[in-house]
Amino acid sequence: MSNKCSVCGKGRTVGGSITRRGLAKKQGGIGMHVVKNNKRVFHANIQNVKVRDGGTVSTKKVCVACIRSGKIEKHRVGEEFLAVLVCLIKLAREFKRMVLHYTVFVFFLILVFPGVCTKQKSV
């Protein structure tokens, strides 16, 4: 697999490392002169990222510029678990509220009708 961004196609770029010699004009010299230009390669910052495509998760090579700009949706481990956990916490709070109301209702019945709520042994 090539070292290119699968979203924008950014890859390596060929350029030069310029070597200069001399004293700059603002320092009283006659200027900086180019001595040589060494060829070099500028590599894009490519990262392997787990990307969510619809319902599937796949690994792609994506440049950091595309990751930052939000052109992809990263797969977050445990995201589904977190959503289920939040739902369970809400259900637990509702259940706690219902149990509280139920216990208050039972105590009310015991206070108002003491003979109805107590179990009596049949002989």
Mean pLDDT score of the chain, rounded to an integer? 84
107 has a pLDDT exceeding 90: no
CA dihedral 82, 88, 94, 97 (to 10 degrees): -100
43 has a pLDDT exceeding 70: yes
- 52 touches 60 (CB < 8 A): no
Count helices and strands in the chain by DSSP H and E runs: 3, 4
CA dist 83 and 63 (Å) reads 29
Identify the CA nearest to 64 among candidates 45, 42, 43: 45
113 has a pLDDT exceeding 80: no
Q: How confident is the model at residue 109 (pLDDT cuts 50, 70, 90)?
A: low
Average pLDDT over residues 92-102: 77
Residues whose CB is less than 8 angstroms from the CB of residue 47 and which lie 6 or more positions away in sequence, other chains included: 61, 62, 63, 64, 67
